[in-house]
Amino acid sequence: MSTEEKSLHFIEQIIEENLANGFPQHKLRFRFPPEPNGYLHIGHAKSICLNFGLGLRYNAPVNLRFDDTNPAKEEQEYVDAIKEDLKWLGFNWAEERYASDYFQQLYEWAVEMIKKGKAYVDSQSSEDMAAQKGSPTQAGVDGPYRNRSVEENLTLFEAMKNGDFPEGSHVLRAKIDMSSTNMLMRDPLMYRILHRHHHRTGNDWKIYPMYDYAHGESDYIEQISHSICTLEFVMHRELYNWFLDQIYDENRVRPHQYEFARLNLNYTVMSKRKLLQLVQENIVSGWDDPRMPTISGLRRRGYTANSIRKFCEIIGVAKRENVIDVSLLEFCLREDLNKSAPRVMAVLDPVKVIITNYPEGKEEFLDAENNQEDEAAGFRKVPFSKELYIEREDFLEVAPAKFFRLSIGNEVRLKNAYIIKGESVVKDANGNITEIHVTYDEDSRSGSGSEASQRKVAGTLHWVSIPHAVEAEVRLYDRLFIDEAPDSHKEKNFLEFMNINSLQTVKGYVEPSLANVNPGDKFQFQRLGYFNVDKDSTASKLVFNKTVGLKDAWEEKGKKEANLLMNTQKEINKYVKEKDETNADLLLKSIVDNIESIDNFSLINQTVVKNVKNDNNSLLFANLILLHSDKVQAKDIEQEVLTKLYLMSLKSQLAAVRIAAIENLKNDYLHFDDFKTQLSDLKNSEKNDQVLNLLNSLVL
C-alpha cells in the first residue's frame, strides 16, 4: 500500500475500493442533509467538511438537501441560515434539494407498499404501540390492526392524506418483523398525521413521512452513491436498506450508508434541543450569540472559516467516538489569526499615565508594525502624547521581584515608543489610583537607532494616547460552561454548569486607526488577545468581541485547580496534626476557601470519589468537599460510593471526620434516614463532647 493510500481515512478507502471494483467515478455523488430545525453548529462542520471534501477530492457533485419532513419544528429562517453558513465555510453545492420535493413520490411508493402487503395503517395509541413493540430482550407482538385488508389500508391512508382524521389517530407502519432483534425493524412508522403549515408546501399535505423512510428514498431519487451518517445511525442501516429494497431498480445507482464518529467537543453542548432552550430562555442573545457553538455564533465571535476547516482536517474521520478538547479549536484559530490579524493597541481597564517631563501640547506619530508575521502588512502611524492610558493591572506601587511591568522606581518600555520610569501616584478619597506620574527617556524612542533606544528593560506595555483614543464597548466572551461535559451528569441539569462570567462588557479605548472599522474586521489587541468588530458596531459606537486569548487560559486554570486540590490535601495533613487551636482554625479556613474556589464539577466530584478509602485524612478531605463546595452535592455521588463514605466516616477514629460526616448527613435529606441506626449507635458510644453535642441536636 502506498504512502498516499495509508493516509486516506476509512471512507476514502471504501470509495477507492469501490472505484477499483468497477464503480464509475462519474456516478459518485454525495450530499449534506441538514434538517432545518435549528442553526448549524461546530459538530455539523465536521460532516460538511467531510462530504464537500469528498466532492472536491473526487470531482463529484455534492447536493445540499434539506430533510424537511417535520413542519412542527422547521422554518425558513433555518434554511437561510444553513445556506449562509455553508457559503461562509467556503463550500458550494451542486443542487439545492428538499425532501419535500419528493412528497408525492414518497406517497406513491407508500401506496405501492400497501398494495404489496408491506405497509398498513395502525390505529393504536402511541403508548399501546410502544408496549406491543416489546423491548431489546423481549420480542414484540402483532398489533390488532396489523392484518387489515389492503383495501381498508388504502382507504384509511387516502383519508389520512385528505385530512379526514385528527393528529395521532392513525399512522402508517411498514410491515416487517415484530420479533426482529433490531427494534427499529419492528414495523417502524412511515407516516404520521400533522395538520401543520409546511415552510415550502404550505397546507397541501396533512401527512408527513418519517425520517427513516424519507432519508434513504431521497438518497435514491438523487442517486447518491455514498450516504454518510454519524454513528447513531448504525442500527438504522438495516431499515435504510429494507426501504431501498422495496423500490430499487438494478439499472440505477443504489445508495449505501456509511457511519463515522460525530464531533464531540468538551465544555459544549451539541444538542439542537438544548441550544434552542438557551435561545428560548434568553440565556444567550440568539443563535448567533458569540458564546454559542453554532457556525453563526463562531463567525460573529471572530472565528475564521479557514480555522474551522483546519480543525476538522486535524481531528480527521474515525469510526470510534471520542471527545475533542475545545482548546484544539482555539489553537487552530490562533494559528490562522496570527498570520492575518493586524496588531493594534487597546486598553480595556484604563488608568491614566502622565509623562511629567514630556512637553505640554506636543504630539508625535510613531511607526508601528502591523503584523510581524506578514512582511507585506507594512506600518502605520500611532499618535503619542503627554497623557496615556495603560492597563490598570500593568502597574503596582510596590512590585514583587518578578513583576516585569511598571512600578515606582522601575522602568518599562512603551510599545513602539519610549522607556518610562514610575515616579509617583495620585489617589482618590478611597485610596484608588487615578493617575500615575512618570518620566520618559527622550533618547529611547523605538527604532531611532540611538544608544538609549537599545537599552534593555524588563517589560513592554501597550498604551493609547488619551487625546486621540477612541472609546469602544468591548465584550469579553468566555466558555459558556464551566464543566467539561455539562450534559453528561445524571440528576444534573446542564444549565447548572453555566459560566456566570461567560460575558463581561467593559468600556475600553482603542488607537485611532480603528475609528473606521467594519463589522467582521479582525485584530490582535497586543498583549490581550484577538478581537473582531461585532455586527452591533456603528460609526458612533464601536463594539468589539473578544475572540480568543493569546494563551489557553482554561488549560492554565485547570492545572491550577488540580494543583490547588493536591496542595489542599497536604493542608489536611497539617490540620490534623496541628495542636494549637488558633493555627488549626486558620488552616481549616484556608482549606475551605480553596474548596470553595474550585469551579470544575468533574474535577471536584472525582476528588471526592478518590478519597473514599480507609484513611482518616482522605475521608476528612472528601467530607469537607461535600460540606463546603457549591459545585457538588451528595446526590451527585454514586450511591455505593456515598454509602461507603458515610459508613467509614462514622466509624473513623478522628473526631473531625465524624463531625464532618454528621454535618453532611444533616444536609442530606435523601439519605439521612438510612443512617439513623448508625447515628444512634454512635451516640451511645461517643466520648467526644463536640461530636456528642452534634448528635444530640439530631432527631433520631
Q: Look up residue 256 and give its three cell numbers.
A: 449505501
> Does 67 appear as a known binding residue?
yes
Clarify whether 200 is annotated catalytic: no
Q: Which of 362, 459, 463 is nearest to 412 (CA)?
A: 459
Which of 133, 161, 175, 272 is an active site residue?
A: 272
Closest CA to 586 of 597, 573, 575: 575
Catalytic residue among 16, 35, 84, 364: 35
State the SS3 of 22-84: CCCHHHCCEEECCCCCCCCEHHHHHHHHHHHHHHHHCCCCEEEEECCCCCCCCCHHHHHHHHH
Please tell me whether 42 is known to bind a ligand.
yes
Please, which residues bridge with residue 525 across strands? 344, 529
Measuring CA to CA, which residue among 301, 253, 236, 293 is closest to residue 270?
293
Task: Give residue 59's region: left, alpha or beta (phi > 0; psi -120 to 50).
Answer: left
Catalytic residue among 262, 274, 380, 683: 262
45 annotated as a binding-site residue:
yes
Q: Is 462 annotated as a binding residue?
A: no
How many whole angstroms separate alpha carbon 457 and alpha carbon 539? 39
**Using CA atoms, how far apart are residues 358 and 465, in angstroms rounded to an integer?**
13
Q: Specify whether the CB–CB gap between 419 and 440 falls below 8 A.
A: yes
**Rounded CA separation 651/176 (Å):** 60
Asked if residue 482 belongs to a known ligand binding site, the reply is no
634, 667 Cβ separation under 8 angstroms? yes
d(CA 686, CA 673): 20
The answer on whether 538 is annotated among ligand-binding residues is: no
71 annotated as belonging to a binding site for a ligand: no
Collapsed DSSP state (helix, strand, coil) of residue 425: strand
Say whether 550 counts as a known binding-site residue. Answer: no
Determine if residue 47 is labeled as part of a ligand binding site: yes
303 is in an annotated binding site: no
488 burial (CB, 10 Å; 0-12 / 13-18 / 19+) is: middle
The reply, when asked if residue 695 is annotated as ligand binding, is no
Asked whether residue 43 is marked as a ligand-binding residue, the answer is yes
- Distance from C-alpha of 514 to C-alpha of 523, rounded to nearest angstrom: 10
What cell numbers appear for 80 in the block? 437561510
Helix axes 237-245, 211-222, angle to 10 degrees: 60
| Residue 315, marked binder | no
Q: Return the percent helix, strand and coil in the chain, to nearest 5.
A: 40, 20, 40
36 annotated ligand-binding residue? yes
Judge whether 274 counts as a catalytic residue: no
What are the C-alpha distances in Å from 370 to residues 342, 382, 524? Answer: 5, 11, 10
**635 annotated active-site:** no
Quick one: DSSP state of residue 124? S
What nine digits make up the cell of 177? 418483523
Pick the closest to residue 113 from 208, 243, 205 (CA basis). Answer: 243
Active site residues: 35, 262, 272
Annotated binding site for ATP: 35-37, 41-47, 230, 262-263, 270-272
Annotated binding site: 35-37, 41-47, 67, 211, 230, 262-263, 270-272
